[in-house]
């Protein structure tokens, strides 16, 4: 996170782009968010340039949150 000296208020669109959160199961997270009435901006699916699963949801202030599937580490850790 950052602190911008002299700024005491932000408007939607000038605070930041989005944050990303790693989740164990992107599909399950999206379904849970839907069940709770959340807004899905992009359904779970692979990134354009790879196999990593992502989705985008919207927070209550209108900012996008990226959900990224947990990476599998060699050795099962």
Element (H, E) at 9: none
Total domains, the chain = 1
With H, G, I as helix, E, B as strand and everything else as coil, classify residue 43: strand
Domain holding 53, by residue range, is 19-69
Confidence (pTM): 0.76
| Residue 12 domain flag | no
| Residue 6 domain flag | no
At 41 the pLDDT is: 97
* Residue pair 65/59 in contact by the 8 Å Cβ criterion: yes
| Residue 23 domain flag | yes
Per annotation, catalytic residue among 24, 31, 58, 66: 66
Is the pLDDT at 75 greater than 70, yes or no? no
With H, G, I as helix, E, B as strand and everything else as coil, classify residue 33: helix
In this prediction, residue 6 has a pLDDT band, given cuts at 50, 70 and 90, of confident
Check if 66 is active-site: yes
E strand spans, the chain: 19-23, 39-46, 53-58, 64-69
Phi/psi at 14 (5° precision): -115, 10
């Amino acid at each position: 996170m950052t602190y911008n000296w002299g700024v005491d208020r932000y408007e939607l669109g000038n605070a930041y782009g989005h944050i990303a959160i790693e989740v164990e199961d992107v599909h399950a997270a999206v379904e849970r968010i839907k069940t709770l009435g959340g807004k899905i901006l992009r359904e779970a699916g692979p990134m354009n340039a790879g196999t990593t699963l992502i989705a985008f949801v919207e927070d209550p202030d209108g900012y996008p949150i990226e959900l990224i599937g947990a990476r599998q580490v060699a050795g099962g850790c």
